[in-house]
Amino acid sequence: MVHRDIKPGNIMLGSYGEVYLLDWGVASIAGVSDDEAEAFTDVPPVHTAPGAVLGSLETMAPEQAAGGKATPATDIYALGAVLFHILALEPLHEASSSDAEAREALALRIRGGVDARPTTRPRGEEVAPELEALCVEATRTHPNDRIPTALAFHERLESFLDGDRDLALRAESSQRHTTAARAALANAGDDGSAFREVGRALAFDPTNRDALAMLVELLTSVPREPPAEVIAEERVALARRLRVGALALSAGYGAVACYGWAAMALGLREPSVFGVISALWVASFAAALVAARWPSYAALSLACGGGVAASTYITKIYSPFLVVPLFLTIHATLFAFVGPARLRLGMVAAACAGWTLSVYGHALGVFPTTFELVNDAVLIRSLALRGSPSWVTAYLYVAGLTTLVAPALIVGAIRGAWQRNERALRLQAWRLRQLVPAEDAGPRS
C-alpha cells in the first residue's frame, strides 16, 4: 500500500502508545491499477488525471510534486519528512501559504531537492547524527537513492532508540551510584566506598557532572580519617625523611667534632675538657648514624640530646656568650620540623635547659666562672684554650660561620621541598578541576 499523504496530521497515538495512520482516501496499491485495487478494498478508487498532484506539500516527495506515479519510496520520503519535523520542530517544506503561485513555487523547489538536515534549522542543533543521517537518506531526490523499505526505516530508528534507552538506563545507574557515594561520605565518612561508587558511576556515564564534581571534591579535600594504606605510605616516607635528616645531622656532628681536634693546634690548657666535648660530639655522630640505619624518632632524639649536652659543655671553653647559644638554637630550630609536637617541645625545653645551665652553671659549681664584668666591659676567659689572638679569632670565626650557614642551607632545602610539594598538589587539583566546569566543581579554597 502507498498512502500518498503521510503527514503529522494523519498520525495519532492510542491510549497504550500504539500508532494509527489515518486518512487512506488517496492511498493506492503499488503495481496495481485503480480498478483492480477496488477488488481488494471497500474504499472507492481515486481516479487521477495524468500529472495531477495528490498529498500535502509539507511532506511531499519530488516525484509526487512533479505529478508522477507514487511508489513505496514516496511514503519513505514522507516518513523522513515527518521525522525531520519532529527533530527540527518545523516542517521540511514550509507550506503555510494557500496562494496557488506560492504553492507552485514550493512544488518546484521540492522537485529540485531540499536540505533535510535538521541541524541546519534553529531548533535542531542538538539532533543526533544517526537521526540526521536517517532523515537525509529517506528524503533523497531520486526514489532509488532512498532507504529501500519502511521496514528498513523502522529498523534504523529502533536501533537508535534501543541505544538511547540503554544510555538512559546507564545514566540512571550512574546517578544511583553517585547518590550512594554521597551517602557513604556523609554518613560514615567512608572515602573508600565513596571512591568506589563514584568510579562505578563514571563507568556507567563518563559525562555525569554530579559524579565528576564529587570525584574532584574527593581528590582535592582532606578526609577526616586517613586510610590504612595512606598511613603505611606515610610511615615509609617518614623513614626516608628521618634517614636523610640523620645523615645530615651526622655530617654536622662529624664536622663539629673535627673542630675539637683543630683546637689542639691552638694550644690546650686542659686537654680533658676537649676530650669530654669530643666524646660527646662523637657519641652524637654515632647516634645519628644509628638513626640513619634504623630510622626512628628515638634514635634521632638521642643524637640531638647528645648534641645539646655537647653544646652546653662548650661553656667550659668559650663561656656561655660565644658559640653556645648558636649551637642550641640550631638544635631547637631544626627539630621544629619533626612531626610529633611532643618532640618539638621537648627539644625546645632541652635547649632552654642547656642555655640556663650554661649561664648559671658557675653558681651551681657545674662550670667555672668564664666571664665577669670589669668596669664597663664584659671579660670572657677561656680556661682550656690558649694561643695567639689571631688564631683564636679565626677558629671562632669558622665555627660561627658554620653555625650560620648550615641551618640556612638545611632550612632552605626543607622550604624548597615544601614549596615543590605544594605546587605539585595545586597543579594536580587544577587538572582534576578541568574534568568539570568551574561552576560544577564545588567550593574550594
C-alpha cell of residue 121: 534549522
Over the range 328-365, which residues count as b (16 or more CB within 10 Å of their CB) and which as e?
bebbbebbeebeeeebeebbbebbeebbebbbebbeee
The phi, psi pair for 32, rounded to 5°, reads -125, 140
Model confidence band, residue 197 (pLDDT cutoffs 50, 70, 90)? confident
Averaged pLDDT score across all residues of the chain: 80
pLDDT at 82 over 90: yes
pLDDT at 445 over 50: no
pLDDT at 49: 46
Query: What is the pLDDT averaged over residues 183-206?
Result: 81
Model confidence band, residue 149 (pLDDT cutoffs 50, 70, 90)? very high
Which one has a higher pLDDT value, 175 or 278? 175
Query: What is the pLDDT averaged over residues 384-403?
Result: 71
Phi-psi region of 315 (alpha: psi -120 to 50; beta: other; left: phi over 0): alpha
pLDDT at 264: 60
Which one has a higher pLDDT value, 100 or 158? 158
Could you tell me what percent of the chain has a pLDDT over 70?
85
Q: Name the nearest CA neighbour of 273 among 323, 317, 305.
A: 317
Could you read off the pLDDT of 280-291 as tens digits, one per residue? 888 888 888 888
C-alpha cell of residue 141: 531526490
What distance in Å separates the CA atoms of residue 19 and residue 17, rounded to the nearest whole number? Answer: 7
Of these ranges, 297-306, 365-374, 398-407, the one predicted with the greatest mean pLDDT is 297-306
pTM (2 d.p.): 0.47
Q: Name the nearest CA neighbour of 145 among 78, 73, 92, 67.
A: 73
Query: What is the pLDDT averaged over residues 233-260?
Result: 79
What distance in Å separates the CA atoms of residue 407 and residue 358, rounded to the nearest whole number? Answer: 22
Q: What is the CA radius of gyration of the chain?
A: 46
What distance in Å separates the CA atoms of residue 347 and residue 324, rounded to the nearest whole number? Answer: 15
Query: What is the pLDDT averaged over residues 408-416?
Result: 78
Amino acid at 22: L
What distance in Å separates the CA atoms of residue 88 and residue 113, rounded to the nearest whole number? Answer: 18
Could you read off the pLDDT of 83-141 as tens digits, one per residue? 999 999 999 988 766 777 888 888 888 998 889 999 889 888 788 888 999 999 999 99
The phi, psi pair for 321, rounded to 5°, reads -105, 15
Query: What is the pLDDT averaged over residues 368-383?
Result: 75
pLDDT at 13 over 80: yes
pLDDT at 7 over 90: yes
What distance in Å separates the CA atoms of residue 241 and residue 92, rounded to the nearest whole number? Answer: 73
Among 252-256, 260-264, 298-302, which is the least confidently predicted range?
260-264
Phi-psi region of 333 (alpha: psi -120 to 50; beta: other; left: phi over 0): alpha
pLDDT at 302: 86
Could you read off the pLDDT of 21-76 as tens digits, one per residue? 999 888 888 666 656 555 555 555 544 444 456 778 899 999 998 888 889 999 99
Query: What is the pLDDT averaged over residues 293-307?
Result: 86
pLDDT at 87: 93
Query: What is the pLDDT averaged over residues 190-206?
Result: 83
